[in-house]
Amino acid sequence: MRTLEAMPVFWNWEMVLACNFRCSYCNYTCLGWERHHAMNVFPGLARLSEVWSRIQDLYGTVHIELSGGECTSYPGWEGVINMLVGIHTVSLDTNLSLDAERFAKLVKLERVRISASFHPQFSDFDSFLRKCLTLKERRVSDLFINYVAYPDQLAEMARYKKAFNEHGIRFYVQPFQGVYRKCSVYPESYTEAELGLIEEALALGGPDADISRGRFQWKGSAMRTGTEEQLRKIQEERGTHLAPPLVATTPKRPPVHCHMGHYYAKTYVNGDTYRCCAKPTKERPAELLSEKLYLGNLFLDDDLKLLEAPAACDYEPCPCDRCMVVGQETRWLDRWCAPDLTLSNDEGEHR
């Protein structure tokens, strides 16, 4: 049984707002990728090496969850990933447009987890599957699939999931959040027929099915709450589709104590680092929150540190679908996974 004491620190680095795909259901595609490019900050490999070596000195080997954008769009990508894997373990969120054979030779795959997003609008299924199998054959620590339940992509979803199931690859379904064909707001507008296609895929089973179902019920999304003015601001600042609010105002909840900020941090493309996915807003200014959310700038602040203990949080709705609430460890602990470095390539399966 996993314990909190044995869990490493998890650090999400949203490293770049750029992508080589232009999926029609992507928030950034709808708003225009180019308008976000100016937000990117690239400190250079030498500074990044200093930063992540300092984090190792403070917290040992942490698990860095790389996201974006498409991570492989980061300038000098191969040098950065090679440096990171040499110091820490890494989870890579990617559309798998990379050369799988080249990547397998570049890094120690036993220190890497891959979250592969399959986008049928730009990826051929057979080619994508072959890349996944190549990485599994090279003993990547873990590999799983993310798939957006966009209305135009539902008919083939069960076939895709069945194929991945047959190879022991988990297939997570993400609800589409946005406006479909300029008129229907999702996920609220899923029809019974569309929900039936989603359930047809999830009914194929596997350890991913219940988590996928939970994502269709999670209320922490910016799409599901807030006034129209709040949502419009979110659209401008975060690249999220504007959708009519379901809840005009959200009552403040009693604070809960959470390990986010203690065992987790989130760094944005400019280096700004927060204890979790929540950020102060005009409607929720920092002074009204029970604890500070901002930890500092990872690229600039040489004294940036995590919290020394779990801290109170009353941010509602909680934007973290794996929030580390004290006393609820059975709900979230097993969902925070990193490569098991106690296993070598010759010792059984990797987590």
Convert the pLDDT of each residue in 1-10 to its tens digit.
568 888 999 9
Determine whether 217 is exposed, middle or buried from the number of CB atoms within 10 Å of its CB (0-12, 13-18, 19+): exposed
Could you tell me which of 229, 337, 336, 222 has the C-alpha nearest to residue 278? 222
Position with higher pLDDT, 47 vs 215: 47
Q: Left if phi > 0, otherwise alpha if psi is -120 to 50, otherwise beta: which for 187?
A: alpha
Q: Give the model's confidence band at 117: pLDDT under 50 very low, under 70 low, under 90 confident, else very high.
A: very high
Q: What share of the chain is helix, strand, coil (3-state, %, to 5)?
A: 35, 20, 45
CA neighbours within 13 Å on the CB side: how many for 198?
25
Q: Please, what is the average pLDDT of the chain?
A: 86
Contact present, 110 and 147 (Cβ < 8 Å): no
Distance from C-alpha of 228 to C-alpha of 162, rounded to nearest angstrom: 40
| Cβ atoms within 10 Å of 41's Cβ, excluding its own | 15
Report residue 26 as tokens. Answer: 């992507």
1 CB-near residues (< 8 Å, 6+ apart): none
List, for residues 184-238, the tens digit of each pLDDT value: 889 989 999 999 999 999 999 988 998 899 888 765 554 444 444 544 554 444 3
Report residue 22 as tokens. Answer: 């232009």
Q: What average pLDDT does the segment 152-178 reach?
A: 96
pTM recorded for the entire structure? 0.86
Q: Give the model's confidence band at 319: pLDDT under 50 very low, under 70 low, under 90 confident, else very high.
A: confident
295 CB-near residues (< 8 Å, 6+ apart): 261, 265, 273, 274, 275, 304, 305, 306, 307
- Residue 304, CA distances (Å) to 12, 15, 85, 300 in order: 15, 18, 22, 9
The per-residue b/e assignment along 190-210, b for 16 or more CB within 10 angstroms, e otherwise, is beeebeebbeebbebebebbe
pLDDT at 5: 84
Q: What average pLDDT does the segment 298-309 reach?
A: 97
Amino acid at 332: W
The per-residue b/e assignment along 253-265, b for 16 or more CB within 10 angstroms, e otherwise, is eeebbbbbbbbbb
% of the chain with per-residue pLDDT over 70? 83
H-helix or E-strand spanning residue 113: strand 112-117
Amino acid at 225: T
pLDDT at 243: 40
| Domain ranges (residues) in the chain | 8-140+258-335, 219-249
pLDDT at 345: 40
Distance from C-alpha of 230 to C-alpha of 281, rounded to nearest angstrom: 9
CATH of 8-140+258-335, picked from 3.20.20, 2.60.40, 3.40.50, 1.10.1400, is 3.20.20
